[in-house]
Amino acid sequence: MQLNVVLLQSDSRVAQSLVSALANTFNSVRQVQSLGELRTSIAKHRAGIAILDMETASISDVEHLSREFPKACIVCTHRLADEDMWTAAVNAGAADVCPPSDTRGIVRTALRNASITNSAAA
């Protein structure tokens, strides 16, 4: 199971907190600074999970990532609950949209979708 994570988060304090929390569950967690770096890092490190801050990306970015990396689980984060954004992100290919402070929700979504992807590949 590919439990490598790439994280793009606009707030550096939140990013560091997520990296620390996620490092306990996943093989590697890499923080990147841009959408281009996220794409490169997913491919280079064969990341199975991409955590994407919706304040740095658009719904069309989620859609492109989903098509470009169909086996990767994309978990979006946003600090405000927004049902319309959640629906649009999920329709674009995200597994879920969680508050960045909801580390448990992010981990649960990533692990659930990683196991589904691996079951389908087996």
pLDDT tens for each residue of 31-83: 999 999 999 999 999 999 999 999 999 999 999 999 999 989 999 999 887 88
Six-digit token pair at 82? 């927004």
Tell me the C-alpha to C-alpha distance, in Å, between residue 88 and each of 24, 51, 58.
30, 16, 10
pLDDT, tens digit, for every residue of 97-120?
999 888 888 888 888 876 655 444
CA 23, distance to chain mean position in Å, is 14
Output the pLDDT for position 98. 92
Q: What is the 3-state secondary structure (H, E, C) of 7-72?
A: EECCCHHHHHHHHHHHCCCCCEEEEECCHHHHHHHHHHHCCCEEEEECCCCCHHHHHHHHHHCCCC
Structural domains of the chain, ranges and CATH numbers in brackets: 4-121 (3.40.50.2300)
